[in-house]
Amino acid sequence: MKKSKSALVILGFAAAAAACVQAAAQDSGVYLGGLIGTATSKDGCINAVLPCGASDTSWGVQAGYQFSRMLAAEIGYRNLGRISHQSGGGMNAEVKSALGEALLVAGLPIERLTVYGKGGIYYARSDLQSDFLVEGRHKNAGWTLGAGLSYDITRHLAVRLEYQKYNNLGGDAVGFRTDVGVSSLGATLRF
């Protein structure tokens, strides 16, 4: 009789584990997304040759894999627009930046709403275009952190509101180093 009770208990645990795995599998999968917002470079950039501290439209795309409702890995591309600009007296100069990123996303789901944090690395390219300075290009890598809210409209579609910071963007060839913050609104489509 003890063996049959043990077998029933083991069978019960196996059934519960299978149900948990199936439920977790429903929350996992590939997703694609896009976002648009505003990128703002920090005033008082390090080694600034140009006036620094500009805001411009930013947009991006991302692809990710959601392991569960609480953990995902994501790669993305962001165009930060102009992060520095000077114009006057027929002399113009601007620095445009774009980057690729690889991130881990950790979330706390509360019904249809998820509060999440994300962090990882980026690799950026910044281009200086100017009428009066030597044009240049600088590539650099750094870290990025962000936080946001995601709301599931349907099982496959969610909207996101997030803020992300890119640390120490730029370099000598473009005339400064700065932190860039991006506030954005986006959507993700889960498959």
In a domain, 124, yes or no: yes
Distance of alpha carbon 47 from alpha carbon 168, whole angstroms: 12
In a domain, 9, yes or no: no
Q: Report residue 118 CA to chain centroid gap.
A: 7
Strands 91-110 and 113-130, how do they pair?
antiparallel
In a domain, 22, yes or no: no
∠ at Cα 102 (164, 189), nearest 5°? Answer: 80
Q: Report residue 2 CA to chain centroid gap.
A: 55
In a domain, 58, yes or no: yes
In a domain, 166, yes or no: yes
Q: What are phi and psi of 132, to 5 degrees?
A: -130, -10
Per-residue confidence of the chain (191 residues) as pLDDT tens digits?
A: 555 555 554 555 544 444 444 444 457 899 999 999 999 987 656 566 666 667 899 999 999 999 998 999 999 999 999 877 666 666 777 888 999 999 999 999 999 999 999 999 999 999 888 777 777 888 999 999 999 999 999 999 999 999 999 998 888 777 778 889 999 999 999 99
> Which residues constitute the domain of residue 132?
29-190
In a domain, 98, yes or no: yes
3-state helix, strand, coil in the chain (%, to 5): 15, 70, 15
Q: Per the structure, how many domains does the chain have? A: 1
In a domain, 138, yes or no: yes
In a domain, 5, yes or no: no
- Residue 17's pLDDT is 44
Asked if 60 and 101 touch (Cβ cutoff 8 Å), the reply is no
Domain containing 62 — which CATH number? 2.40.160.20
